[in-house]
Amino acid sequence: RYHNTFRPAPTPEIQARLRQNPRDKEENIEKHVEAYYRNIKELEDFYEDAFYVNADQDPYVVFEFIESCIIKPLPCKK
């Protein structure tokens, strides 16, 4: 798989053959982002006990963090 920014195709011939998924067009992404921001407050209120996970880390670190939150959760402010 290729990505225009992060992993571009190696040759112009391959780049010419690539197609973009219609769901990935800018106007469709904007609709999804707007829906997210419209609904995020309700989701946060509904899932009061949810915790934030920084998934931009090593998968084992993420797993250990999630596991620690489930097994021995930090006290929450009420």
Condensed to tens digits (0 to 9), the pLDDT of residues 14-73 reads 988 888 788 888 999 999 999 999 999 898 899 888 888 999 999 999 999 998 888 876
Nearest to 18 by CA among 29, 7, 32: 7
Q: Kindly report whether the global pTM for this prediction surpasses the value 0.85.
A: no
**Rounded Cα–Cα distance for residues 51 and 71 (Å):** 13
Give the 3-state secondary structure of the chain: CCECCCECCCCHHHHHHCCCCHHHCHHHHHHHHHHHHHHHHHHHHHCCCCCCCCCCCCHHHHHHHHHHHHHCCCCCCC
Condensed to tens digits (0 to 9), the pLDDT of residues 52-64 reads 899 999 999 999 9
